Amino acid sequence: MTSTISINDSQRLQLSPLEVPNRLLLGPGPSNAHPAVLQAMNTTPLGHLDPSFLALMDEIQSLLRYVWQTENPHTIAVSGTGTAAMEATLANTVEPGDVVLIGVAGYFGNRLVDMAGRYGGDVRTITKPWGQVFSLDEIKTALETHKPAIFALVHAETSTGARQPLEGVGELCRKHGTLLLLDTVTSLGGVPIFLDEWGVDLAYSCSQKGLGCSPGASPFTMSPRAMEKVQKRETKVANWYLDMLLLGKYWGSDRTYHHTAPINLYYGLREALRLVAEEGLASCWQRHQKNVEYLWEQLESIGLKMHVAKEYRLPTLTTVCIPDGVDGKAVARQLLLEHNIEVGGGLGELAGKVWRVGLMGFNSRPESVDRLVEALKEVLSK
């Protein structure tokens, strides 16, 4: 006779409906979602092959092309977090023995190195101190030296708050027959991006930062040059779930079943993208820049310094130097528990040295800055 595990009466009484704290999420992500996005995600699901849902997928593709400023036909949302979209770029284009050159100036450059190696790439790196960026001359020398099949850069390094300039990089890559891969996880929706103008071949992002949606529906795009490399592979893509030749049949005209999409997350992504389009992309970028400059001014007014040089700072994420003698973790914990405000700590080389303050999507507003700075003043005074 088979027995079952039961819940006792005291446990049953503790199972109340879900309640979570109402936090202001000013860390490196997720950010708070716009009420319209939350409402969209609370809508009745459709089947993943329902004609109405397929039409919504088409809208997502069109809107993603807009926010990325690309005409790439293969522009989709990966059913997974931004890390899944990151892995998709490498899983599809890296074949064993391919030279993959990666610019490492923070935590997520290192993650690209790890992933590329797992797919058999001959991984080479160029490095900069965390918080600095690569010059065009440094990139030119590295491309001439290594002659890579793929060159990967992080546009917005989430661990440092630095923005990598891209002007001229794509042209150099094309001279060497190299595909340019770009991490836009912390830049999409809040930082000017021009994928086609810059000559970017592969890019990925996430849904929970500048777009202000829930994590789990992550933008991915691939140029015709990159798709040609995938189609000429001598081996199958090693990751079945992220194989873009298969996913393309679901997102494209074939509409072939591949997996059950996270329906309600796609509802939220579509609505978040609609809000960006409604505001206007240029206006959205300007709002993020204006509000982050206000943040920098207010933080400096209470004696705090930024880690990254001003010309390379992100409008979406700022690394704030923790003053000498201050317990950064204790401050972050007090902000969370006493003021319902989340900020992030440093990663890797910056652990214990900085707070990471995100001002992304719906949260990029002056009132977010005011609330944070007032809370910081109170906590630091103690």
Q: Tell me what pLDDT residue 10 has.
A: 61
DSSP annotation of 217: E
Predicted pLDDT of residue 9: 61
The H-or-E segment that residue 12 falls in is helix 9-14
| 273 and 285 inside one domain | no
Q: Are residues 335 and 362 in the same domain?
A: yes
pTM (predicted TM-score) = 0.95
pLDDT per residue as tens digits for the range 19-49: 999 999 999 999 999 999 999 999 999 999 9
* Mean pLDDT (whole number) for 159-168: 98
Of 277, 302, 320, the residue at which a domain comes to its end is: 277
Shared domain check, 350 and 245: no
Domain of residue 175: give its range.
35-277
More confident call, 19 vs 104: 104
Say if residue 152 is in the same domain as residue 63: yes
243 and 306 share a domain? Answer: no
**202 and 100, same structural domain?**
yes
Contact (Cβ atoms closer than 8 angstroms) between residue 119 and residue 90: yes
Total domains present in the chain: 2
The verdict on residue 10 lying in a domain is no
The reply to whether 177 and 298 lie within a common domain is: no
Let me know whether 377 and 340 are in one domain: yes
Domain end, chosen from 277, 312, 333, is at 277
pLDDT band at residue 18, thresholds of 50, 70 and 90?
confident
As a whole number, mean pLDDT of residues 179-188 equals 98
Pairwise CA distance, residues 355 & 320, whole Å: 5
Pairing mode, strands 317-321 and 354-358: antiparallel
pLDDT band at 217 (very low <50, low <70, confident <90, very high): very high
Query: Is 12 domain-assigned?
Result: no
Q: Is residue 126 domain-resident?
A: yes
Mean per-residue pLDDT, 243-258: 96
CA distance 25 to 33: 10
124 pLDDT tier (thresholds 50, 70, 90): very high
Decide if pLDDT at 233 tops 80. Answer: yes
Task: Looking at the structure, tell me whether residues 226 and 132 fall in a common domain.
Answer: yes
pLDDT digits (tens, 9 = 90+) for 255-313: 999 999 999 999 999 999 999 999 999 999 999 999 999 999 999 999 999 999 999 99
Q: Tell me the three state secondary structure of residue 278.
A: helix
Q: What is the mean pLDDT of the chain?
A: 96
Q: Is the peptide bond before 30 cis (omega within 30 degrees of 0)?
A: yes
The pLDDT value given to residue 13: 59
Kind of pairing, strands 202-204 and 217-222?
Answer: antiparallel
Note whether residue 6 is domain-resident. Answer: no
Q: Residue 106: is its pLDDT beyond 90? A: yes
Contacts of 257 (CB under 8 A, 6+ apart): 48, 49, 250
Radius of gyration over every alpha carbon of the chain, rounded to an integer in angstroms? 22
pLDDT tier for residue 16 given thresholds of 50, 70 and 90 = confident
CA distance between the termini of the chain: 62
| Averaged pLDDT for residues 117-127 | 98
- Mean predicted confidence (pLDDT) in 77-89: 98
- Residue whose pair of structure tokens reads 């002056």 in the numeric block: 366
- Are 208 and 308 members of one domain? no
The residues, ordered by sequence, that sit 6+ positions from 349 with a Cβ below 8 Å of its Cβ are: 130
Note whether residue 8 is domain-resident: no
- Among 308, 315, 296, 304, smallest CA distance to 363 is for 315
Distance CA 373, CA 357 (A): 11
CATH code, 343: 3.90.1150.10
Question: CA–CA separation, 364 vs 11, rounded Å?
Answer: 41
Contact residues for 15 (Cβ-Cβ < 8 A; gap 6+) = 7
Flag whether pLDDT at 2 surpasses 80: no
* Interval 310-355: pLDDT, tens: 999 999 999 999 999 999 999 999 999 999 999 999 999 999 999 9
pLDDT of res. 1: 53
User: Quick one: what percent of the chain has pLDDT higher than 70?
Assistant: 97
- At residue 382 the predicted structure's pLDDT band, cuts being 50, 70 and 90, is confident
Report which of 151, 244, 242, 142 is spatially closest to residue 199, judged by C-alpha positions. Answer: 151
Would you say residue 375 lies in a domain? yes
Summarised one tens digit per residue, pLDDT across range 186-198 is 999 999 999 999 9
Neighbours of 290 (CB within 10 A): 13
Amino acid 7: pLDDT: 66
Give mean pLDDT, residues 200-212.
Answer: 98
Q: Rounded mean pLDDT of 11-21?
A: 78
Q: Which residues of 72-104 are buried (b: 16+ CB within 10 A; e: fewer)?
A: bbbbbbbbbbbbbbbbbbbbbbbbeebbbbbbb
Judge if 321 and 271 occupy the same domain: no
Q: Kindly write down the DSSP assignment for every residue of 115-183, as one continuous string.
A: HHHHTT-EEEEEE--BTB---HHHHHHHHHHH--SEEEEESEETTTTEE---TTHHHHHHHTT-EEEEE
pLDDT for 151 beyond 90? yes
Residue 313, annotated ligand binder? no
* Mean pLDDT computed over 211-218: 97
- Is the pLDDT at 11 greater than 80? The verdict is no
In terms of Cα–Cα distance, which of 62, 132, 138 is closest to 319? 132
pLDDT for residue 17 is more than 90: no
The angle, 0 to 180 degrees and rounded to 10, between the axes of the packed helices 244-251 and 224-231 is 120
CATH of the domain at 206: 3.40.640.10
Clarify whether residues 198 and 248 are in a common domain.
yes
